[in-house]
């Protein structure tokens, strides 16, 4: 149960409230403007024409068919590439070299794929001629890909020296996977009977890219070639740097033997660091008692004392020794008040109290964290927790002060919309309507197309107050000159649905000429299209990844005025599939089809066979026990495959959601239950009598569930506006 506020805390809060309220009232007076330092976000102007948002063909993703009008020669070319990718070289070769290819933006790609086919057919001289015909002045992905292919030809033709010379000339800066080039170079040098230079290349992979898949192959090669005479001169340092990289990446199973091997030869500071890292690995593997014992030599003295004490106290917590854990945290903070390890310890202590449902002690820990580390990595979270607890305790002036100070200090924080909205609600509770309305307008202007923006706008409309002003503007269209040298190739490859090759070109452009919103949006568009193709192998990763990337490219979509983004951009952010089934079963159960669409988008991103780590399956992510129960209710014979069938999954899932609505009485309750479980939501409702919907949602104990509910409620309105309003077609791209 939630702990009541201590009398002393309540007394202090009561004493402070009038002063805070008076100070806030002075700041706001009757101006109707938001707090000093709180203004709407400044966004870059949007491009003045849809074609300037990205480097894609002239196409609407809302229209059926292939991306734009494609010439027959290009259709044949795409078919040829598909055949060559399947190692059907003889069938694909004439299609990539036929009439119409040489005069197109894909002329060099025709030569490139011809070279691949000829290599597969072991016609090496012709393959080399095809690759060389591309020339050295090519821009884009082929500038790096052609030398790699030429090296393959040289190896296959029995000329490893020439292969090595070609690979040596490649530049790391424009390579997507330099570790692969170094591995190939090592193989070429080894084939040329040059073990010293082969080892140098393999070591470049093993030590320089220890997290790569190629590192294991490099290790095998090093073990095969290394002799006492060919030992690396600075091996200890290289091995230590590799172990550090594995440790930093959380690769405990690899880092542990790497450090252990070094520990036998290490001395001085290196030896102490290795021993400390091994102890910390024990903690990370859940071996708390062994970790605590191994850490004891380091908790008194030395430059890493604070770090050692942090892991020592964390292991103590892991062993369930509550009083000792709290005492150790207090000791660390007292002895190292400005250390980042003290910051970590205070944040973890606050989280510990949250999980123990001791809100008073959690508030005290968060306040100390904010006071000691006002610009630290957890300052934003601390501000939210402090302000929200103050709001719950009806210390509205304290809540508003906390939220507004944080919003001014961290204008790009993820917490900012919640800070501003609840500051407005706090001002309402203080009868400071003008100030509240000013805050709601900032929320509406910055976050109109989101959960909090719609809450704020609804309050303003209900009170017949002025609506938030649009803050997103478009710039005049600039000239039509290419913005990256390989733009024509990107558009042409995308037009014939060679999405992998198009993505290679875009990623090359990002590395070679710098990233941009247009390049990010192009990546998103390609992954969206690739993911929604029938039978796409990585649908979930592609479609969900496209959403994230497009949101990053054009964050203006969320602000007032973001509605003017081209519909095709918005479709990537708000994809849709299986609409006929969603509408059919929503109507059958009296559910909002747009809420159900948002739920499916959040759960599975319209991927029918996706399976979560918790063993939830299919479009609506049903666990087998729930699927079996509802299959029985509907008279269906249950099997594991049943949940991967789109119609059956939607049918079962919507019946389940309808039952949750009946039981708990509201969409927000049903969503929380769908995510966190029925028993939890029943307890949360009982513990929060009289909470309004927005208060209940922001008081959900699990941040994941809290964000889940807000995301789906907000996204449902986006789907309603875009698809219900006719801006986008409900026709599935996958069905075209």
User: How far is Cα 155 from Cα 140, in angstroms, rounded to an integer?
Assistant: 24
- Please name which of 435, 344, 350, 425 lies closest in space to residue 386, comparing C-alpha atoms: 350
Predicted confidence at residue 40, as pLDDT, reads 94
Q: Per the structure block, which two tokens stand in for 518?
A: 């247009």
State residue 622 phi and psi, 5-degree precision. -90, 135
DSSP 195-238: HHHHHHHHHHHHHH-TTSTHHHHHHHHHHHH--GGG--TTHHHH
- Please name which of 106, 48, 103, 82 lies closest in space to residue 495, comparing C-alpha atoms: 106
Please state the length of the chain. 736
State residue 520 phi and psi, 5-degree precision. -60, -45
**Bridge partners, residue 611, by sequence:** 617
Burial class for 137, CB neighbours closer than 10 Å (0-12, 13-18, 19+): exposed
Could you tell me if 326 and 313 are in contact, meaning their C-beta atoms sit under 8 angstroms apart?
A: no
The torsion of the CA quartet 413, 415, 421, 422, rounded to 10 degrees, works out to: -130
User: How far is Cα 190 from Cα 541, in angstroms, rounded to an integer?
Assistant: 38
User: How far is Cα 31 from Cα 427, in angstroms, rounded to an integer?
Assistant: 14
- Please name which of 568, 541, 543, 565 lies closest in space to residue 555, comparing C-alpha atoms: 565
- Please name which of 592, 572, 599 lies closest in space to residue 673, comparing C-alpha atoms: 599
Q: Per the structure block, which two tokens stand in for 192?
A: 């040329």
User: How far is Cα 237 from Cα 259, in angstroms, rounded to an integer?
Assistant: 12
Quote the DSSP letter at residue 468.
P
User: How far is Cα 55 from Cα 521, in angstroms, rounded to an integer?
Assistant: 8
**Bridge partners, residue 381, by sequence:** none
Could you tell me if 450 and 540 are in contact, meaning their C-beta atoms sit under 8 angstroms apart?
A: no
User: How far is Cα 176 from Cα 549, in angstroms, rounded to an integer?
Assistant: 19
Could you tell me if 293 and 299 are in contact, meaning their C-beta atoms sit under 8 angstroms apart?
A: no
Predicted confidence at residue 36, as pLDDT, reads 58
User: How far is Cα 260 from Cα 86, in angstroms, rounded to an integer?
Assistant: 45
Residue 535 CA to its chain's centroid (Å): 24
DSSP 361-380: HHHHHHHHHHHH-TTSTTHH
Q: What is the pLDDT of residues 143-201, one digit of tens each?
A: 999 999 999 999 999 999 999 999 998 867 678 899 999 999 999 999 999 999 999 99
Predicted confidence at residue 109, as pLDDT, reads 98
User: How far is Cα 339 from Cα 362, in angstroms, rounded to an integer?
Assistant: 21
State residue 431 phi and psi, 5-degree precision. 60, 30
Q: Per the structure block, which two tokens stand in for 97?
A: 């070299």
Helix axes 142-156, 107-120, angle to 10 degrees: 20
pLDDT < 70 positions in the chain: 1-36, 59-70, 171, 173, 477-482, 732-736
The torsion of the CA quartet 212, 214, 215, 217, rounded to 10 degrees, works out to: 160
């Amino acid at each position: 149960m939630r702990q009541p506020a201590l009398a002393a805390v309540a007394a202090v809060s009561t004493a402070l409230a009038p002063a805070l309220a008076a100070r806030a009232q002075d700041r706001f007076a009757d101006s109707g403007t938001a707090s000093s330092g709180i203004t709407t976000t400044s966004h870059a102007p949007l491009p003045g024409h849809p074609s300037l948002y990205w480097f894609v063909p002239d196409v609407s993703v809302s229209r059926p068919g292939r991306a734009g009008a494609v010439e027959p020669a290009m259709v044949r070319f795409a078919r040829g590439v598909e055949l060559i990718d399947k190692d059907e070289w003889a069938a694909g070769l004439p299609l990539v070299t036929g009439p119409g290819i040489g005069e197109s933006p894909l002329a060099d790609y025709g030569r490139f794929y011809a070279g691949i086919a000829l290599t597969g057919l072991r016609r090496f001289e012709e393959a080399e001629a095809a690759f060389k015909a591309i020339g050295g002045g090519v821009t884009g992905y082929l500038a790096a890909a052609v030398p790699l292919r030429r090296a393959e030809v040289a190896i296959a033709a029995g000329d490893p020296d020439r292969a090595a010379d070609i690979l040596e000339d490649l530049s790391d800066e424009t390579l997507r996977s330099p570790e692969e080039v170094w591995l190939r170079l090592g193989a070429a040098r080894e084939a040329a009977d040059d073990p010293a230079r082969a080892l140098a290349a393999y070591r470049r992979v093993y030590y320089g890219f220890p997290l790569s898949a190629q590192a294991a192959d490099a290790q095998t090669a090093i073990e095969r070639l290394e002799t006492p005479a060919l030992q690396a001169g600075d091996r200890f340092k290289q091995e230590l740097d590799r172990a550090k990289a594995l440790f930093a990446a959380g690769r405990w199973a690899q880092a542990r033997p790497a450090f252990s091997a070094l520990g036998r030869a290490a001395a001085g500071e290196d030896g102490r660091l290795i021993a400390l890292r091994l102890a910390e690995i024990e903690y990370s593997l859940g071996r708390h008692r062994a970790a605590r014992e191994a850490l004891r030599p380091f908790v008194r003295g030395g430059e890493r004392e604070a770090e050692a004490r942090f892991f020592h106290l964390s292991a103590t917590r892991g062993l369930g020794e509550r009083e000792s854990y709290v005492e150790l945290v207090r000791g660390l903070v007292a002895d190292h008040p400005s250390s980042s390890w003290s910051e970590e310890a205070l944040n973890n202590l606050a989280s510990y109290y949250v999980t123990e449902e001791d809100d008073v002690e959690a508030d005290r820990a968060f306040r100390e964290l904010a006071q000691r580390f006002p610009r630290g990595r957890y300052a934003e979270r601390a501000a939210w927790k402090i302000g929200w607890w103050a709001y719950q305790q009806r210390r509205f002036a304290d809540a508003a002060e906390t939220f507004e100070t944080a919003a001014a200090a961290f204008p790009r924080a993820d917490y900012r919309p919640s800070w501003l909205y609840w500051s407005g609600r706090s001002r309402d509770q203080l009868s400071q309507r003008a100030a509240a309305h000013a805050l709601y307008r900032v929320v509406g202007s910055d976050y109109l197309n989101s959960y909090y923006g719609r809450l704020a706008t609804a309050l303003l409309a209900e009170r017949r107050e002025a609506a938030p002003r649009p803050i997103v503007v478009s710039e005049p269209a600039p000239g039509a000159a290419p913005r990256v040298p390989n733009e024509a190739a990107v558009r042409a490859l995308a037009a014939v649905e060679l999405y992998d090759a198009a993505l290679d070109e875009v990623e090359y452009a990002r590395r070679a000429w710098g990233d941009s919103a247009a390049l990010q949006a192009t990546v998103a568009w390609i992954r969206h299209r690739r993911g929604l193709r029938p039978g796409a192998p990585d649908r979930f990763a592609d479609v969900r990844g496209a959403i994230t990337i497009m949101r990053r490219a054009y964050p203006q979509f969320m602000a007032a005025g973001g509605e003017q983004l081209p519909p095709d951009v918005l479709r990537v952010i708000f994809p849709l599939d299986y609409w006929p089934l969603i509408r059919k079963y929503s109507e059958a159960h009296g559910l909002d089809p747009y809420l159900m669409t948002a739920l499916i988008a959040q759960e599975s991103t319209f991927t029918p066979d996706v399976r979560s780590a918790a063993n939830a399956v299919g479009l609506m992510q049903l666990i087998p026990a729930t699927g079996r129960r509802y299959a029985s209710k509907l008279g269906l014979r249950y099997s594991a495959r049943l949940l991967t069938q789109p119609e059956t999954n939607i049918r079962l899932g919507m019946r389940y959601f309808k039952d949750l609505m009946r039981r708990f009485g509201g969409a927000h309750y049903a969503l929380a239950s769908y995510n966190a479980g029925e028993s939890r939501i029943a307890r949360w409702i009982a513990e929060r009598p009289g909470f309004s919907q927005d208060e209940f949602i922001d008081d959900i104990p699990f941040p994941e569930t809290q964000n889940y509910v807000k995301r789906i409620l907000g996204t449902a309105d986006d789907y309603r506006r875009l698809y219900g309003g006719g801006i986008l077609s409900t026709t599935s791209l996958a069905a075209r």
